[in-house]
Amino acid sequence: MKAAYTDSYLQQPEQLHISEVTTPEPAADEIRVRVKAVSLNDFDWGIVAGKPWILRFFLGWRRPKVRISGCDIAGVIDRVGADVTRWQAGDRVFGDMSGSQFGGFAEFVCCSESAVAALPENVEYSAAAGVPQAAVLAWQALTLKGPLNDGLRILINGAGGGVGAYGVQLAKAFDVHVTGVDKAAKHVQMRSWGFDAVVDYQAEDFIATEQPYDLIIDTKTDRKPWQYCRGLSPGGAYVTVGGKLGLHLLLLLFAPLIRIVTGKRLGIVALHENENLSMFARLLGEGKMSTPIDGPYPFEQLPQQLRYFLDARHQGKVVLVMADTDA
């Protein structure tokens, strides 16, 4: 099969080549999925590059234990292990492979039967491939500090990517006001996803607002935790899903003290892979959630598209499709 295989850590996406490797066989409790579409996430490159360095404690210090990266896939099951009861060949599925052995940047991937959910017939593979990590992170962030309620003022920082795209759609099931922060060039598309207001982080500081937010979700944490309190309403919550690791540690350390002194709550989302995937499948099938697809691009363009993604030139989810995939 064709796969983006590497047995050493790479410096640049252009060094990642697609080559012929042995097609994996599913273990007794696994399924094998013929990948139709795969989307890009930060983690995909982290595995290939071994960065941040802390990843190497888990993924191999000198060489990657994971030889084929790729988390979020959609495809069709082509083989099932002897002990698998939930699935059969021909089932359309999607899921995040990061809790299994990764491997989504390939024509076939094997994973545990719980790593995927069924995909409704009317949902295209390319739309489903965008969902797993970004929608799960967005939903976890929206609900980490309590249920969503009508009337909330919500802000998503770094909102031009996957978490912003799904986050605003999920939030808008309620009567809430959602502001998105990203570069001005992305604002037209962000408005089309449902953002009520947009802020250009290169021109304006969203913390210095006269109308504070009840919930701030951040994909790009780059300040000390107490600095976010200024942008929060009394009892408001700040939730980070990404950004600088050192600042996350600082947040963990100071969140209890900040809560006591200000009443404001700070938290970190740790991805629960594939949580609520069936809910997202239903929303996609009913047309209540959609994936803003950047692409889809041919799988062969993976190195170029990884570069494009790392340069943050994308809007929504960058999706790549295999040659025989029409959607």
Ligand X SMILES: NC(=O)c1ccc[n+]([C@@H]2O[C@H](COP(=O)([O-])OP(=O)(O)OC[C@H]3O[C@@H](n4cnc5c(N)ncnc54)[C@H](OP(=O)(O)O)[C@@H]3O)[C@@H](O)[C@H]2O)c1
- Residue 31 or 168: the one with the smaller Cβ distance to ligand X is 168
Q: Provide, rounded to whole angstroms, the least separation between the CB of residue 129 and ligand X.
A: 13
Contact predicate 231/207, CB 8 Å: yes
Closest Cα to residue 167, out of 218, 236, 206? Answer: 218
Q: Provide, rounded to whole angstroms, the least separation between the CB of residue 183 and ligand X.
A: 4
Q: Provide, rounded to whole angstroms, the least separation between the CB of residue 157 and ligand X.
A: 5
Q: Provide, rounded to whole angstroms, the least separation between the CB of residue 164 and ligand X.
A: 6
**CA separation (Å) from 56 to 48, 68, 273?**
11, 15, 20
- Residue 169 or 219: the one with the smaller Cβ distance to ligand X is 219
Torsion sign across C-alpha atoms 243, 244, 246, 250: negative
- Residue 20 or 222: the one with the smaller Cβ distance to ligand X is 222
Closest Cα to residue 279, out of 109, 142, 159? Answer: 142
Q: How many CB atoms lie within 10 A of CB 321?
A: 23
Q: Provide, rounded to whole angstroms, the least separation between the CB of residue 102 and ligand X.
A: 13
- Residue 42 or 196: the one with the smaller Cβ distance to ligand X is 42
E strand map for 71-192: 72-80, 92-96, 108-112, 117-118, 153-157, 177-182
Cα–Cα dist 228/209, whole Å: 11
- Residue 174 or 201: the one with the smaller Cβ distance to ligand X is 201
Q: Provide, rounded to whole angstroms, the least separation between the CB of residue 319 and ligand X.
A: 12
Interacting residue ranges for ligand X, rule: CB under 6 A: 42-43, 133-134, 137, 157-158, 160-164, 181-183, 201, 219-220, 222, 241-242, 269-271, 312
E strand map for 50-107: 72-80, 92-96
Closest Cα to residue 164, out of 218, 121, 90? Answer: 218
Which residues lie across from 117 on neighbouring strands?
A: 94
Q: Provide, rounded to whole angstroms, the least separation between the CB of residue 323 and ligand X.
A: 25
Contact predicate 178/155, CB 8 Å: yes
Which residues lie across from 33 on neighbouring strands?
A: 77, 109
